[in-house]
Chain A
Amino acid sequence: MFVTLVDFAVLGMVALGMAFILARLFIGPTLYDRVLAVNAFGTKTVIFLVVFALMVGEPAAIDIALLYALMNFIATIAILKFFRYRSLEVALSQMALRRALDGEDD
């Protein structure tokens, strides 16, 4: 009972943090604020899921938390690639080279 209430309080605090990040995501003046907010929100979701898994005693939920962490990383990479290069087609390793070549053409 006691442990359950402590878990509940912890999870409530994490949910509160999620709400704050959500507010930043809505207001966020610049796009970079929003990218950071999405990344932080993904991390908060992972924490939420892990605490929830421990609270309910369902270890399989931790698998989903792991998948989230990976997906969050992929999404952040895609977003930053979009910002920097305006393209998702080319591998990151080739982009520096291509940019250097384009710069020579100019």
Chain B
Amino acid sequence: MMGDLTQYFDYVLMAMLLAVGVAVIRLRNLFAIVMLTGVYSLLSAAWFTSLDALDVGFTEAAVGAGISTVLLLAAMLLTSRECDKVSVSRHWAALAVCVAAGAVLLYALPDMPVYGSPDTPVNAGVGMEYMDRTADDLKKIPNVVTAVLGSYRGFDTMGEVFVVFAAGVGVALLMGLSGRRREEDE
């Protein structure tokens, strides 16, 4: 019964995502588009939560709704407020690419397992072993994804953190930290 009811919210959220996507294409005001991309990631994070993928929803809320909105605003400082008209021929080329990619995805769709199916590699293979072991190994960690990311493959996660940190330091060294350039101008 629960699953029957919650799936309607998935449909509603997907319809809103579609509407926001169409609006992003139609609008010319870049500021409104930045707002809409923020709403898009809010909606998709709510959708991930509704699909019981809490960790993905968490990441989407932090990165999509928070950081990328601010980054897009910062990028808008360097450009104009309105986007230029795009010629119709480029529309056709983009439509062709989209139709081709969509056709490939639809072709691959029948091979996908049914949503929630117990026979998928995720639910049948080594994943279930970790699901079983988490309850015994790590009693303090309530979420299996957290247990796998933070403990079972902790070294891998640490490497990722190092890579992201190195990238951040590199960007900060290349672009300069805030304010210094302005003071030199004065």
Residue ranges of A at the interface with B (Cβ–Cβ < 8 Å): 1, 4, 8, 11, 15, 18-19, 22, 25-26, 28, 31, 34-35, 37-38, 41-42, 45, 48-49, 52, 55-56, 58, 60-61, 63-64, 67-68, 71-72, 74-75, 78-79, 82, 86-90
Contact = CB atoms under 8 A, between A and B. Distances in A.
A89 B182 contact: yes
Given A4-B5, A22-B20, A90 B178 contact: yes
B54 A61 contact: yes
Given A4-B1, A31-B32, A90-B179, A64 B38 contact: no
Interface string B118-152: 00000000000000000000000011000000000
B73 A88 contact: yes
Contacts of A45: 42-43, 45-46
Contact of A1 (B1, B31, B36, B182): B1
A82 B73 contact: yes
Per DSSP, are chain A's interface residues mostly helix, strand or loop, or mixed? helix
B161 interface: no
A34 B32 contact: yes
Interchain residue pairs A-B with the least CB separation, the first 3:
A71-B66, A89-B178, A78-B70
A31 B30 CA distance: 11
Given A22-B19, A26-B23, A52-B9, A38 B38 contact: yes
23 contacts: A15-B13, A22-B19, A26-B23, A28-B32, A31-B29, A34-B35, A38-B39, A45-B45, A48-B46, A52-B9, A52-B46, A52-B50, A60-B142, A64-B58, A71-B65, A74-B70, A75-B38, A75-B65, A75-B66, A75-B69, A78-B73, A79-B69, A90-B182
B74 interface: yes
Interface of B: 1-2, 5-6, 9, 12-13, 16, 19-20, 23, 27, 29, 31-32, 35-36, 38-39, 42-43, 45-46, 49-50, 52, 54, 57-58, 61-62, 65-66, 69-70, 73-74, 76-77, 142-143, 178-179, 182
Nearest to B182: A89
A72 B46 CA distance: 14
Given A56-B2, A68-B61, A22 B35 contact: no
Contacts of B45: 45, 64, 68
Contacts of B36: 25
Contacts of A31: 29, 31-32
A38 B35 contact: yes
Nearest to B54: A60
Given A4-B2, A52-B46, 6 more contacts: A26-B19, A26-B23, A28-B32, A74-B66, A86-B77, A87-B77
